[in-house]
Every structure is written in C-alpha cells, then in structure tokens.
Structure 1
Amino acid sequence: MAGIFQAVSMAMAAAALSGGFAVPASAAAFRSEYTVSYLGLTIARSHFESTFDGNRFKVSGSMSSAGIAQIFDDTKGTVTARGRFAGAGPLPDDFVTNYTSGDKKKKTQIGFAGGNVSKVVNIPPLKKRGRDWVKVADADLRAVTDPLSGTLIRADSAEKVCGRTVKMFDGEMRANLVLDYVSKGPVSLPGYSGEAVTCRARFVPVAGYKKGHRSIEYLKNRSKIAISFAPIGTTGVYAPVRATVGTQIGTITIEARKFEAVN
C-alpha cells in the first residue's frame, strides 16, 4: 500500500489523466470533480475549474489524499495549464504543478513555444541519473503537450476521438499514449447524460526513465488501460469521464463525479 501514490501518479500520466478535463470555447467556465480508487476504495479526490476566451483556455485543479490513503503521508497538489486550441489538439503555453507528500515538496514548470518545450524548471532539481537512464533529447521535446493539456481532444465524431497518439512531457518523463477505438455507450453523471466513447490506450515510454524499471515495464507491456471520453455540447471537444489503469498493485480507477458548466 505504501506505493499506491507512486502508482497513481504514474497511472494518471499514462492515461493522460494527471490533471483536469477542460471544455471548449463555447462555455465560459466549467467545473469537474474526480475520484481515484483502488480495490473499490477511494484514495484520492480532485477538483478542477476551466475558463475559456475564444480559443484560449486555462485549467486549474487540485488533488489530495482521501479515505484509507490518509494513514500514510498527507499528499496534496495543484496544477495549472494555459494555452490555445489549434486543429485537433491544444497548443500549451505553460504548465505548473506543485506537489507535497509529508515534508517533501516538488514544483515543476514547463514553458512551450509553437508546440515545443522551451523551458523546464524542477524544484528541487532532478537527481543525477545512472548509465541505465534513457535521456531526453531535444528532438523528444518537439510537438508535445503537458499531461493536463493532453486531455483535450477535438474530433468530428466519437469514433475519431481514438485512433491518435498523444505525446506528453511532465518535466522529466517523455511518453506517448496510443489510443485505439473500442466502443460507444451511454453515460450519466451530474452535469452530463449522453454518449461516451471508450478508447484502448497503450503506454509507450520514450525518454526520461530508467531502463528495465518494473513499473514502467508493466505499464508498457502488460497494463490494460481504457479511457472513456464524453462530448462537451456540440463543439466537437471531448473530455475523459472515466479511466481504468492496470498497475503492479492492481487496477486504479479514475472517475468523474461531476461534469458541469458553471453559470
């Protein structure tokens, strides 16, 4: 159980769910709430608020430990992403996350320019890595998004939400998430009732990780990941409402409890 939060963090990144889920330019503001559960027990909760002005977006959120997870170090964090929509996906401007677990604090700030990473700040600085570390090259940081902006998908239909590769960088790890279509079906929750599309997701580490790391190898070769997306109005933007991620310690489930526009 002590490794749950490490697994959750990795799972959310793998599922492009390390942050909140935003809405298109047709809505001025949006609020969403999510739970993270393990073996049917809630271990974390998150809240997100999004605002839009034309094609511009800003998403801010927070996450904290809950339920049985509170017997370990108190864990909480905040995240913010800003950018604009361009074509089928977002072009982020900046991404900032602050994370605290017990007495350990970490901050990551990423700047973007034209879809490429232009600046990375980690506080405290990343530790020196060994020879088995896959280094991040300059080419790896081109045409990428942060994990939060990466959840924004524009598509002409539900079937076209899948069939794409999401390229993410979180300040240390560079990874791809390959989405393939599985099915469509109804979903109902506060703020939304209608159809959702489910994609099978394959996690592909690119750089910024240790070769042979068991958790990474499991996510890459054995994990079963599924993400369900729901449309926001008639604007053609889809956002995740549910994800399941297989990890070494069991299946992590991330599920929306509220998904509504703010008047």
Structure 2
Amino acid sequence: MTTLQAPAPDIPAYDFRRPTTLAREHSRVLELAFETFARQWATQLTAKVRVLSQVTCERVAMQTYDEYAASLPATTAMVLCELEGVAPKGVIQFPTTAALSWVNAMLGGSGVPVSAERTFTQIEHALVRRLMDDALEDLRYSLGSILIAPIAVDAIQYNSQFAQAAATNELMIVAGFELRVGDSVAESTLALPASVLLPQLGETNPTSSADDARELVDAQLARVPVDVSLRLAPATVKPSVVLGLAVGDVLPLPHPHHRPFDLAVGGQPVAGAALGSSGSRLACVIVKTED
C-alpha cells in the first residue's frame, strides 16, 4: 500500500546578499505615492498621445542597482534622470517599441506597435524627452515631500548594461508599472536612489531618549481624557433610609445655598463652580480653584 505525499509548499528563495529590504511602513507609503504617479502618468499620456491610456503600479521593492539592471532587457529605453546634489541618477525604463508607438500616434498615425527595438531618431528623441519631462512633473507632484531633490531628464540610453546610472551596490527604490496605451501593453520600471527617498520617510521604530522621561510622562498625562463631575456636598444617611426611598420623598442635602458646587476629577475636588448655561446646554463657571 502506497501513501500519497502532499506536494511540497512553494517557498520563495531568500537572497542573503541583499543588504536590506523595505520596511512595511515605508513600503505602504511608497506604494500609495507610486499609485498616484501611475494615475497622473496615465492622464498625461492620454492627453499627449491622444490615445486612451492606463498605467498600473504592480510592485515596489528595494534592489541594488546591479540587480535592477540585470532584470532589464538588454536593449530598452532608459531615461536617466539627474537629481540635484546627488551622484546616483534616477531611471525611467520602458521598451523602445512602446515609445515608438506613442510617437506614431502623436504624429497622427494609428499607434501600431513597432516589431523591433531600435534607437530613436532626432525627432523621436525630442518627442519622447518631452513626454518624460511631463512625467517627471507628475512624479514630483505624486511623491510630494518624499522627493525634495529637484529632478530633470539627463539623457536617454538604450543598453541596460552600459547605462551606468549608479554604482552597482547602490540601493534603489524600484517601482514596476504596466502601461496600456490603446492596444499596446508594455512593462515599465522607475528606479530612484533609496538615499534620496528614505530620509523623508523617517525611522520605522523611533525611540525616545530616557533623559527627559519626566517631561514625556507629564506631556502624555496632559493629553489623557478624564471624567469631570459637578456635585453637591454629600449627605450621610442610614441604609434603612436608602432602602425606604420612594417617589416624592425629600432628602435634605447639607450644601449651603451660597456655596459653589464642587468640580471633581476622579472623585477629588479641584475647583468650585457656579451653575450656568452655554446655549441650550447646562454649563458651569469656575469661581475658585483648590490648591
């Protein structure tokens, strides 16, 4: 008798060479920002190419530049973007065939995808660069305070292995997109140096120094909500009186007419107050405070 073995679970491989990964908090913030960029980019492509376009953000990850470059096709369009005050460059990558179909539609053609990869002519280069200038405007708007360094198009390269946008071990934030322009579907990526974005995201588990612990506790206690009550002076009665209470009974209270009510917090009197009103609601006016 043979027993059927359950199939082995599909366990993803972990690359120990990768120095770090994105924290969950950082990843979520970046995903939202790149999803906004995808919508803005789709609107811009629809307006410029005059063909209904849709851009979808499919993933956000952290990779070294060497890993990122190795994942790209050998021949592709790589728009190198210069960041002010930073040596590594950003990259917007997409197939040249997709860009040529955009240019074809912009010039009045049908936008039929080109079958083979090739470099851009001078006119195609100018039109693609203009599209990328507009895309970077959308990127700056979408990332907001996350991207504080000015960014601009530097050059367009066509070989992913020779386009040295950053050092091989430079950490990059890589976002993957699916571009649908009319009937054309293409994969695109956006890579930005992690050193440019991560400082604006803050620490994942921030800690406070214990040197000012007293001030921190006082500041926290000052924001804790408490119950405040306005009360008369308590009366002392026997249990038999309480048990015998009925509707219409009068229970005298030892609170003088001229004495303010007690304003208490947690049963402890902290001030004296007179009864008043605020609009249609009852209110109290503080007339004295306790030491």
Q: TM-score, normalised on structure 2?
A: 0.21
Larger strand proportion, structure 1 or 2?
A: 1
* Higher normalized helix content (fraction of residues): 2
